[in-house]
Chains A and B, each alone.
Chain A
Amino acid sequence: MTTADGLVAPPRAADRTDHLSAGRSRRRRSENLRGWIYCAPFLIAFGLFLIWPTLYGLWMSFTGTSLAGTNTQFVGLDNWKEALGDPQVWTSLGNTAWFTLLSTIPLVVIAMVLAVLVNLGLPGQWFWRLSFFMPFLLASTVVSQFWNWMYNPQLGLINTFLGWFGITGPAWLQDPSTAMIAVVITTVWWTIGFNFLLYLAALQNIPDQLYEAASLDGAGGWRKFLSITLPQLAPTTVLVLVLQLLASLKVFDQIYQMTGGGPGGTTRPVLLYIYEVGFTGYRLGYASAISYIFFFLIIIVSIAYMVIASRRSVKA
C-alpha cells in the first residue's frame, strides 16, 4: 500500500485498519472467552448430570452391572438381545402405549373444551383457573392419596355415590378391567391444567377482528368455533399433542403409587418395569438397556414433532 503515488495517506489508513482489526479481534477473543465463562456453570451441571448419565447409561447397557456394583464386565449386546426378547418389556411397552392413547385423547380434547368455555368471558376467571389448573401443581403423592381414597371399593366417594343409585361399583384399582381406566381418569384430572392454560393463552391471541368479521357475515357461535377458533388453534394443538404424548409415555409416579403396576401387571408401564429390574432385581445393566430402547421411542416422537413443526413453518 505504500507503493506508487500514495506517500502520506495510505500508510496511515493501513495503520488505522490494522489497529482497528486488532482491536476487534481482541474484543472477539475476549467475547469468546466470556461467552464460555457465562455458560460454564450451566454447562458443567448439564454435562455432569445430564450428558454424563446418558453416556454412562449407554455404557452400562453393555455390561452386567448390578446394584451391588459387582460384575461390571463387558457383555456386548447380551442385555439388548435379552430385552428385545423379554415378553415383559413388550407387555410394559404395550401398557405404556395403551396408557398414552387413553390419556392423550381426553387430555387434549377436554383441555380445549375447558379453555373455550372459560374463554367465553364468564366472570371469576381466577376461580376457573383454580379449579382446573390447581391439581397440576400437586405432588403425585398427594394426587395418589386423594384418588386411592376416591376409588376405595367400600368407603370411597365414587362407589358410595354409585350405591345411591343401586349400582355396585367395581374395586377400581384392584380390578384388571378397570385399573387402567381409573389411573387414566386420575391423570386427566391431575394434569389437564397445563394443556388448559396453553389453550387459554392461544385463544386469547386470536384477533377479535376475525370474530367481528364473521359476525357481520352472520355466522353463529358454532360456525365461528368451527371456522375460526379450531383452525386458529391448530398450531397449539400440535404442540399440546406432542407435549402430552411425551408426558404420557413417561408415566411412572401415579401408577407406582396407585396400583404398583398391578393387578397382574395390567397397568405396569415400561418405566416401572425398568425400576423393578434395576432396583428390585438389582440388574442395573439390563435396566439400562431397556431404558435405551424406551429412549429411542421418545426420540422418534420428538423428531416426528420437529418434522411436522418445520414443515408447518415452511408452509407459513
Chain B
Amino acid sequence: MTATATTPRKRRSGVSGAAPARTAPVRDSGRSFVVVSRVVLVALAILWLIPTVFAVKTSLTENGIAALGAQEILADLSPTLESYVTLLSQGDIWNWYLSSFLTAIVTAVLTLLFASMAAFALSRLTFVGRTLIYLLIIAGLMIPAQVLIVPLFEELRFLQLLNTYWAVILPQVPSVLAVFIFKSFFDGIPKELEEAARVDGAGLWRIYWSVVMPLSRPVTAAVAILTFVWTWNNLLLPLFVLSNPNLMTIPVGLATVQGTFGLRYADIQAGAILAALPVVVLYLFFQRQIVEGVTGSGIKG
C-alpha cells in the first residue's frame, strides 16, 4: 500500500528532474552521437517555436506593414502595441474574457467536486452497484463528445438553457477522466490515515473533506488546471449553444470576428495571442501540475 502511495510522487520527480541520472549511461557512447542529437533537438525546437514567434512579431507590427508580407514584418524594427490597444479598447473582448473565465472556473470547480466525491466512494466504500457505476463510467470514455452535439443541442433547447453559461458549463462537468485520475490517486493513499480520524469520531464527509482531499492537492491542482484549459479552449460546444455575442467565449468570439478584420493581419494575430495569454500564464505558473496531470491522465485513460 505504501508502495502505491509513493507512485505519484515518484512519477512527478521522474518527469521533472530525473534527467541527470540518465546522462551517464548515454554519454559514454560516443561524443558524435551526443553532438548530432543535440543539433537535431535544437533545430526541432526552433522549428516548433517559429509559428508562435512569427505570430507575436506580426502582432507587434503596424497593420499597414503586416499587409506587405513576412519579409517586411521581419525587417520592421519599430514594434508597436497598436493592435493590442485597438482590440482591448473594444468592449467585446472583455465580455469574451469574462465568459471564458466564468465558464472555465465554474466548470473546473463542479468537475473537481463531483468527480472527487464519486472517486472517493468508488475507492473507499463497498456498495451494491459499485461495479456497475465503474463499468458505466468506462463506457463513457468511449463516447466522443462531438457526436453528442446534435442531441445535446436539442436537450439544452428543451431545458431552455441555450444562450446561458449553463449550456457551456453543465455538459462539460461529467468528466470521466477526472474520476479516473482521482480514483487512482485515492487508491494510493494509505487507509491508516483515515482510521486515525475515524477513531477521533470523524464522519465520512469529514474524512473526505479534511483528510483525503487535503492529501490530494497535487492531483486536484492538475485536474483543475486541465479542466480550466480544456473548457477555455472548447470551440464546438459554445459555438453551438451561444449565439448572443455578449456571452461568447474567447475562441468563439474570435472565430466569428476574424472575418471582419479583412487585411488587418496584425490585429488578427494580436487577437489570437490575447486568447492564448491566460493559458500560457497558467502554464508558466503550474508547469509541474500540468505535466503531471497529462501524464497521469494518459496512463490511466
Q: Which residues of chain B from 50 to 85 have any CB-CB distance to chain A below 8 Å in the complex?
A: 50-52, 54-55, 58, 66-71
Taking CB atoms, residues of chain B closer than 8 Å to A33 are 127
Verify if A8 is at the interface (C-beta below 8 Å from B). no
Asked if B114 and A122 make an inter-chain contact with CB atoms under 8 angstroms apart, the answer reads: no
Taking CB atoms, residues of chain A closer than 8 Å to B40 are 117
Q: Which residues of chain B from 200 to 220 have any CB-CB distance to chain A below 8 Å in the complex?
A: 204, 208
Asked if B298 and A221 make an inter-chain contact with CB atoms under 8 angstroms apart, the answer reads: no
Q: Which residues of chain B from 1 to 29 have any CB-CB distance to chain A below 8 Å in the complex?
A: 11, 14-23, 25-29
Instruction: For residue B222, give the distance in angstroms from its CB to the closest CB of chain A.
Output: 12
Verify if A74 is at the interface (C-beta below 8 Å from B). no
Q: How far is the CA of A12 from the CA of B97 in the complex (A)?
A: 71
Q: Given A131-B48, A133-B291, does the pair A60, B275 have CB atoms closer than 8 Å?
A: no
Residue of B with least CB distance to A205: B14
Q: How far is the CA of A190 from the CA of B68 in the complex (A)?
A: 27
Verify if A226 is at the interface (C-beta below 8 Å from B). no
Residue of A with least CB distance to B66: A155
Kindly supply a per-residue 1/0 record for chain B positions 124-157, scoring 1 wherever the CB is within 8 Å of any chain A CB and 0 otherwise: 0111111001001100111110111111101101
Q: How far is the CA of A134 from the CA of B45 in the complex (A)?
A: 12
Taking CB atoms, residues of chain A closer than 8 Å to B235 are 139-141, 253, 256-257
Taking CB atoms, residues of chain A closer than 8 Å to B121 are 34-36, 38-39
Q: Which of A50, A131, A140, A256 has the most CB of B within 10 A?
A: A50
Asked if B287 and A120 make an inter-chain contact with CB atoms under 8 angstroms apart, the answer reads: no
Q: How far is the CA of A291 from the CA of B149 in the complex (A)?
A: 10
Q: Given A129-B287, A145-B55, does the pair A53, B34 have CB atoms closer than 8 Å?
A: no
Number of interface residues of B (CB under 8 A): 111
Taking CB atoms, residues of chain B closer than 8 Å to A208 are 21-22, 25
Residue of A with least CB distance to B54: A157
Verify if A239 is at the interface (C-beta below 8 Å from B). yes
Once A and B bind, how many residue pairs between them come within 8 Å at the CB atom?
308
Asked if A284 and B233 make an inter-chain contact with CB atoms under 8 angstroms apart, the answer reads: no
Q: How far is the CA of A48 from the CA of B128 in the complex (A)?
A: 22
Verify if A211 is at the interface (C-beta below 8 Å from B). yes
* Binding-face segment, B86-94, B188-196, B248-256: B248-256
Instruction: For residue B42, give the distance in angstroms from its CB to the closest CB of chain A.
Output: 9
Asked if A38 and B147 make an inter-chain contact with CB atoms under 8 angstroms apart, the answer reads: no
Asked if A204 and B15 make an inter-chain contact with CB atoms under 8 angstroms apart, the answer reads: yes
Q: Given A201-B295, A243-B301, does the pair A128, B265 have CB atoms closer than 8 Å?
A: no
Q: How far is the CA of A278 from the CA of B126 in the complex (A)?
A: 44
Verify if A118 is at the interface (C-beta below 8 Å from B). yes
Asked if B170 and A48 make an inter-chain contact with CB atoms under 8 angstroms apart, the answer reads: yes
Verify if A45 is at the interface (C-beta below 8 Å from B). yes
Number of interface residues of A (CB under 8 A): 104
Taking CB atoms, residues of chain B closer than 8 Å to A125 are 16-17, 19
Q: Given A128-B45, A194-B298, A287-B150, does the pair A41, B114 have CB atoms closer than 8 Å?
A: yes
* Binding-face segment, A14-22, A87-95, A100-108, A295-303: A295-303
Instruction: For residue A261, give the distance in angstroms from its CB to the closest CB of chain B.
Output: 15
Asked if B229 and A198 make an inter-chain contact with CB atoms under 8 angstroms apart, the answer reads: no
Q: Given A134-B283, A189-B48, A208-B22, does the pair A139, B232 have CB atoms closer than 8 Å?
A: yes
Q: How far is the CA of A189 from the CA of B53 in the complex (A)?
A: 14
Instruction: For residue A214, give the distance in angstroms from its CB to the closest CB of chain B.
Output: 8
Q: Given A121-B20, A160-B71, does the pair A201, B299 have CB atoms closer than 8 Å?
A: yes
Asked if A42 and B117 make an inter-chain contact with CB atoms under 8 angstroms apart, the answer reads: yes
Taking CB atoms, residues of chain B closer than 8 Å to A120 are 22-23, 26, 34, 37-38, 41
Verify if A135 is at the interface (C-beta below 8 Å from B). yes
Instruction: For residue B153, give the distance in angstroms from its CB to the closest CB of chain A.
Output: 8
Verify if B30 is at the interface (C-beta below 8 Å from A). yes
Verify if B102 is at the interface (C-beta below 8 Å from A). no
**13 A–B pairs (Cβ distance < 8 Å), ordered by A:** A35-B130, A38-B125, A48-B170, A56-B154, A60-B150, A126-B287, A132-B44, A134-B280, A139-B251, A140-B251, A146-B54, A201-B295, A257-B235
Q: Which 7 A-B pairs have the closest CB atoms?
A: A35-B127, A121-B23, A221-B29, A38-B121, A211-B25, A160-B70, A57-B151
- Known contacts A137-B233, A145-B258, then 18 further A-B pairs from the complex at CB < 8 Å, ordered by chain A residue: A39-B122, A48-B170, A57-B150, A120-B37, A125-B16, A129-B291, A131-B49, A139-B233, A139-B250, A140-B235, A142-B273, A145-B254, A155-B265, A198-B298, A201-B299, A240-B298, A284-B150, A294-B144
